[in-house]
Amino acid sequence: MNSSRHHAPTGSSFVQLRGSGHWPTLLTSFLYFDASFMVWTILGALGPMIGPSLRLNAQEKFLMVSTPILAGALLRIGLSLLVDRIGTKRTGVIAQLVVIAGLAIVWRTGLSSLGESLALGLVLGVAGASFAVALPQAGRWYPPHLQGVVLGLAGAGNVGVVIDHLLAPRIAAVYGWPAVFGVALVPLTLVLAAYVLFSQEPPGRFKRKKLRDYLHLLRERDAHWFCLFYTISFGGFVGLASAFAIYFRDEFGLAPVQAGEVAAFCTLVGALGRPIGGALADRFGGIRALSFCYTAAGVALVCAAMARDLWLCGAAFFIASGAFGMCNGSVFQLLPQRFAKDIAVMTGLVGCGGGMGGFVLGMLFGVSKEHTGNYVSGILLFAGLCVVALAGLTSVKTRWRTTWGAMAAARI
């Protein structure tokens, strides 16, 4: 059991933020991540229109929308290494410029094949890798007992996916889907300007990481557990977010705009759930918060797979997305307690795992639809991963609470 002297100070975590850290950096990190997440998942929002235009089958459509997720996962480690060499702010600026350039090219030339859409997905992966910039830049400004809520607030920028699904289909319906890439350049440019003007490098000196540092941490069994938990939680959130528009169009025959609205409804709670999950973990302990949320996500996914009514299915996915979002915040409440000295490396590792989880879920949707004619088996397989996560938590909770958790500066 944790000693009470290691618990967070009394009072709301949100209230304590006022006297800590640097709020302009926290705000601009949120905006940076929000804009990046918006374009990272833009192919998912446009999938119901791009797919028929390029004559893609179900498996190819989900490969297209999942490629940015996988690319973002792999690129996070590269951005993490770059952060330590040139700083979080410079890394963030370079990454944003790469994404802006890629979108500008596609806006002017369009997409004419699956190969070109996959190439765009690789560029959009740079936006997905923004986790490796925004989270450590914000988190390093704040003390350990506020990490859950701070990283949750910075990570709540994933609300950008909601903006995608609400606006992208409407813009595409009026001007055509290539125009969406041009419109996306406006918020990206404005956010980049705010980020350059107001964000600051976090205080203190940090160890410069090398690739072997990642390999060294992978020898730690706890690193594997954190990667597994985030693979399932963030993979569940972002995988569902990228698949929703295509899924609701295929399953219920909705028009692209209507499919986008339902997708936004289901995704919003997951985006907002991240800081709530972090705050709950700060208050009740990360293990308890994760156990509750994985259970809720697994049950909801089973219900969604079985539902044949649009509103019942939407409600089930709403719960699943929200639970996965809260899991994300809870994982990042625990992570700095266990790997305080290696938080940037671990952010890259678990972020890589989370993106891979999103790719797996997207491909499960596509393979299931292509080979069985429906999405049931793919959804149920991912629900089974929630059970794996619960089993993992059960196996580690006693050891965590009696070893590093007993000395942590927050509830475990």
Q: Tens digit of pLDDT for each residue in 284-305?
A: 889 999 999 999 999 999 999 9
Looking at residues 48-74, what average pLDDT do you find? 93
| CA distance linking residue 82 with residue 77, whole number of Å | 9
Q: How many CB atoms lie within 10 A of CB 88?
A: 28
| CA distance linking residue 296 with residue 185, whole number of Å | 37
Q: What is the pLDDT of residues 236-256, one digit of tens each?
A: 998 998 899 999 999 999 999
Looking at residues 385-406, what average pLDDT do you find? 92
pLDDT at 307: 94
pLDDT at 213: 79
> In the chain, where are the structural domains located?
19-201+210-407
Q: Could you tell me the CATH superfamily of domain 19-201+210-407?
A: MFS general substrate transporter like domains (1.20.1250.20)
pLDDT at 333: 87
What is the rounded radius of gyration, in angstroms, for the C-alpha atoms of the chain? 20
Task: Name the least confident of 20-34, 104-118, 136-150, 358-372.
Answer: 136-150
> What one-letter code names the amino acid at 214?
Y
The confidence band for 1, taking pLDDT boundaries of 50, 70 and 90, is very low
pLDDT at 14: 54
pLDDT at 243: 92
Structural contact between residues 151 and 234, judged by C-beta atoms closer than 8 angstroms: no
pLDDT at 106: 94
Q: What's the pTM value of the predicted model, to 2 decimals?
A: 0.84
Three-state DSSP at 369 gives helix
